[in-house]
Structure 1
């Protein structure tokens, strides 16, 4: 039997934070729900962590804030000490990352 905890996010890039051994990318994913008969849009922000060297290089060179991206990966629970207290987090470790093709300036001028 194969057990897993995975995530799949489609959304727009917010901030990209570069560190020595990883990159953290915040992604905004929109969701809609009905409240009192009206549709309400809600934005959920998720921060993924990329450790793979090639993927980090791709993000650094090719991805900008506002780009539409797809990220998949695994969930990992972790803990660390901060100011003497244990902090528990769930990290979204990205295994697959891609960016949707950008429209060319000529395409948008013709539209």
Structure 2
């Protein structure tokens, strides 16, 4: 049996940072829960990393667009003078724009 670590996010694009060989996109996902009998929405920001063909697929995405993103988790570490730092990267293997910001907010 193969072990996997995957993610799926449906949310709105907040920020797009394009670099030489990688693009990083922040996506807001909302979670609803009750506090004192009232429904409250918490927004969580998730940064995802795109490489290769996924950069091309996401090139038309803009801030505010509703997107569906899937991929795999990648843990890594690196040493600094202060000690070892640990990171978890969300690497995108699937990207789709579900609704453009201008279409969805009429």
Q: Please identify which structure carries the higher strand content.
A: 2
Give runs of aligned pairs for residues 61-76 of structure 1, distance below 5 A: 62-76=60-74
Check 1:45–1:2 CA distance in 2 against 1; reply closer, same or farther (3 A cut).
same
Q: Distance in 2 between matches of 1:70 and 1:12?
A: 9
Q: CA RMSD in A?
A: 1.8
Normalized against structure 2, the TM-score is what? 0.88
The residue that corresponds to 1:58 in the other structure is 57
1:87 aligns with 2:63: no
8 Å CA contact retained: 2:54, 2:92 = no
User: Across the two proteins, how many residue pairs are aligned to each other?
Assistant: 104
Larger Rg: 1
What per-residue deviation string (whole Å, max 9, x for no partner) do you get for residues 59-106 of structure 1?
22x11000000000011111123445321111101100010143887x
Q: Distance in 2 between matches of 1:68 and 1:82?
A: 37
Q: After the TM superposition, which of the residue ranges 81-90 and 1-10 deviates more from structure 2?
A: 81-90
Moved over 4 A (4+): none
Matched position secondary structure for 1:55: helix
The residue that corresponds to 2:98 in the other structure is 100
Q: Distance in 1 between matches of 2:81 and 2:30?
A: 35
Q: Distance in 2 between matches of 1:21 and 1:5?
A: 24
What per-residue deviation string (whole Å, max 9, x for no partner) do you get for residues 2-39 of structure 1?
21110000000010111112100000000000011110
